[in-house]
Amino acid sequence: MARTEFPLSLFILLLTGVLVGTGFSSPVNAEIRKIVHPDGRVEYTNLSDKQRKIHYTNQKKSSVQNVYKYRNKEGVIAFSDQRPPDITFELLRFDCYACGVDSKVDWHSTPLNMKDYKVTVQLMAEKYEVPAALVRAVIHAESAYQVDAVSKAGAQGLMQLMPETAEELGVTKPFSAVQNIEGGTKYLAFLLDYFSGDERLATAAYNAGPGAVTRYKGVPPYAETEAYVERVAILRNRYADQL
């Protein structure tokens, strides 16, 4: 694989967790925390631990891929993955398609998308020497081919690029299918190069960040990341069989 040149600023962003998808850190939304619970449940919230206890002591635990936006009694806008009781709220879909730990999707049989963005995926895969099947698998896993997808963490478009990363990759229009796919494929090329062509580690890094993969010397022991890596691998192999 040809080495892709990346500016130092992008490398720093990648290692410090300013990522694509469900990145673990985002200066744009610094007040929103991501909490990975021991049971694998992933929670996004900007409430303090005390506020969470007050609001959700009696709420059923959940790992659903929804986030609720509402204004609390103090007039402050809050976000949580727990449905707020007796409060008007707006339901937002925020997480990547393949990140829900308790997803009921059968990844071995869920329909593949062989048609959308076919030419663009092939062109970018060839340009950056990344398997087209892997690019399609990541698009499927991240956004389920929704070109206007936006995550709660702020990731945008088909391959769910964080704004900072998109800027470093030269993506000025994240909801442009061509620009987003090129940026995401370029990022995958970097990760594959960085991890010596290991698709499993590159995929883990796409979800959790290169820093986390480096620290754990392998796929980080995060329930979401482990599920994501497994599902992308299944999709990648299925797409490869069809290409």
Triad 149, 185, 31: Cα angle to 5°: 45
What CA–CA distance (Å, rounded) separates 151 from 24?
A: 13
Task: Please count the other Cβ atoms lying within 10 Å of the Cβ belonging to residue 185.
Answer: 28
Out of 5, 31, 43, 142, which one is annotated catalytic? Answer: 142
Verify whether residue 167 is a known catalytic residue: no
Residues 6 or more apart whose Cβ sits within 8 Å of residue 119: none
DSSP state, 161? B
Q: Could you tell me the CA-to-CA distances from 33 to 20, 25, 44, 123, 223 in Å, in that order?
A: 16, 8, 6, 37, 17
Q: Known catalytic residues?
A: 142
